[in-house]
Structures are given as C-alpha cells and as structure tokens.
C-alpha cells in the first residue's frame, strides 16, 4: 500500500486499455482515492465507478483552462486534498512533416503539451498551500528519437516540450516541496497503438527492443506509482524511460 491516505488526479484515464486507466487501477489498489479526468465524461465516470465508491470521474478537456480549474475545484472538494497529479492525457497523429496542417499542429501541441501546463496550473496553488505534491507528466520516446511509429513530428515536438516544461516546473516548485517528473514510454499496447500493428510490423519493432516485447499499460503505471509515492521522495526533474531498452 504505497499510496495509503493519498488522493490522486489522473488525466486521460477513461480509455479501457489505456495507460491512465491502468494507473487508476494500480493507485486504487495501493490505497489512493482517485479522480479520473477525461474528455470522455461518461467513460471517466464509468471507470471511477469500476474502482469503487471512493473514486470519481470528471469530464474535462485539458486544453480548456476553465475546464481544468473547474475540475480541480471539484476534485479537491470531493477528495478533500490532492497529493498527486498525473498529466497523462494525449493524442497522436501519424503524419509526415509536409502533411501537418496548422490546425493539426495546434491540436497536437495543445492536448499533449499545453494541457500539461493548464492542468498543473489548476492544482499548483492547492499543492503550494499544503507544501506537498507530486506531479508526473507524460512524454514519449518520440521526443527522444525524433519520431515514433504512430506520432508525427508535431507529436515529437509537443512531447519534447513536456520534458522542458516539467524540468522548469521542478526547479521552480522544489522549494514548495512539489516534485515534478516525466516518463518517456516506448511502444505500449493501448488504443493509440492497438489494432494498427500488423504481425510483420510488430516483429520488426520487437527486433529493436532488447527485452523482446512491446510494453503493457501497467509497465508505465508502475513508474507513475513510483513517482507518485514517497519511494521517490528525492527525485524531481527526472525523466524515466519505460521502453524495454529501445534507446540503448
């Protein structure tokens, strides 16, 4: 029980096979009360109901500042406190540089990067007041290797931006005892990737992964758990790879 007595907010945790949903389950198993924030309000409420009555689901578009503030007020009121924020929501689009329209660029950067800022801003005053907090932000191996299989250059740019944003927040918020870290997963089998991989593609990708398999949502959830818990009490501004050794 690594999170007993703690309350966590996780964005992008409605999708059934997603990393956020697996994280919500793991956090609840470890004793946390969880608020699931997602664009899909029904999905968020259903996911929370599956966890039990101590948890709640809230509809929230992380690209909308007013939504983020409202969701934060609702989560803090219902949970009584928020110790952990997991900025997990994200979307991808598999296109090449010349195919990126300005509205695609804006949408991908908005959800993957601006959403991290807006939702963090909504919880920082509360965390500052309590002089405690752990914020974890979702980046990607795409930020590090300049391209993924399912994300375009705009996705790589946004996820790289998350790394800089998280480090800057870690530096600024350290004196308030708020830790901020990032995770950089490799290829994880979820709805973003699922169904789009042929057997040939899968075999080809696995050749480049020393651990010899694709990632599961729970592989990433366990890293979020480490970052959320006191096990990582002296870790801030860090970037943790969860990629089976893809970058070695």
Nearest approach, Cβ of 69 to ligand NAD (angstroms)?
Answer: 14
CA distance 104 to 138: 20
Closer CB to ligand NAD, 137 or 169, in the complex = 137
Closer CB to ligand NAD, 173 or 217, in the complex = 217
Closer CB to ligand NAD, 31 or 165, in the complex = 165
Cα–Cα–Cα angle for 160, 163, 167, nearest 5°?
A: 155
CA distance 247 to 237: 20
Residues 6+ apart with CB under 8 A from 136: 84, 85, 86, 87, 180, 181, 182, 183, 224, 227, 228
DSSP state of 82: -
Closer CB to ligand NAD, 62 or 72, in the complex = 62
SS3 24: helix
Contact assessment for residue 126 and residue 83, using Cβ atoms and an 8 Å cutoff: no
Closer CB to ligand NAD, 31 or 210, in the complex = 210
In angstroms, the Cα distances linking 11 to 103, 144, 175, 209, 218 are 23, 23, 25, 28, 16
- Token duo for residue 181: 């870290």
Contact assessment for residue 168 and residue 121, using Cβ atoms and an 8 Å cutoff: no
The binding site for ligand NAD (CB under 6 A) comprises 11-12, 14-15, 17-20, 38-40, 60-63, 88-92, 111, 115, 138, 140, 185, 187-188, 190-193
Nearest approach, Cβ of 19 to ligand NAD (angstroms)?
Answer: 4
CA distance 84 to 7: 6
Nearest approach, Cβ of 234 to ligand NAD (angstroms)?
Answer: 25
Q: Say whether 224 is catalytic.
A: no
Tell me the catalytic residues.
Answer: 155
């Amino acid at each position: 029980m690594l999170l007993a007595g703690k309350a966590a907010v996780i964005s992008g945790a409605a999708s059934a096979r997603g990393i956020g949903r697996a994280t919500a389950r793991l956090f609840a198993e470890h004793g946390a009360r969880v608020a699931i924030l997602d664009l899909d309000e029904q999905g968020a409420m259903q996911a929370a109901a599956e966890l039990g009555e101590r948890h709640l689901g809230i509809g929230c578009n992380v690209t909308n500042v007013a939504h983020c503030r409202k969701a934060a007020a609702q989560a803090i009121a219902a949970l009584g406190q928020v110790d952990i924020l997991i900025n997990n929501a994200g979307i991808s689009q598999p296109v090449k540089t010349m195919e990126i329209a300005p509205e695609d660029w804006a949408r991908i950067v908005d959800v993957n990067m601006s959403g991290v800022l807006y939702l963090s801003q909504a919880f920082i005053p509360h965390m500052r007041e309590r002089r405690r907090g752990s914020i974890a932000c979702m980046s990607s191996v795409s930020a590090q290797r300049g391209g993924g299989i399912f994300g375009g250059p705009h996705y790589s740019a946004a996820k790289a931006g998350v790394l800089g944003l998280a480090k800057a927040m870690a530096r600024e918020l350290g004196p308030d005892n708020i830790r901020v870290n990032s995770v950089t997963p490799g290829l994880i089998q979820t709805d973003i990737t699922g169904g789009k991989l042929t057997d040939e593609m899968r075999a080809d990708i696995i050749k480049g992964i020393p651990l010899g398999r694709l990632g599961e949502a729970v592989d990433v959830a366990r890293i979020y758990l480490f970052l959320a818990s006191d096990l990582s009490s002296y870790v801030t501004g860090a970037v943790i790879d969860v990629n089976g050794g893809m970058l070695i």
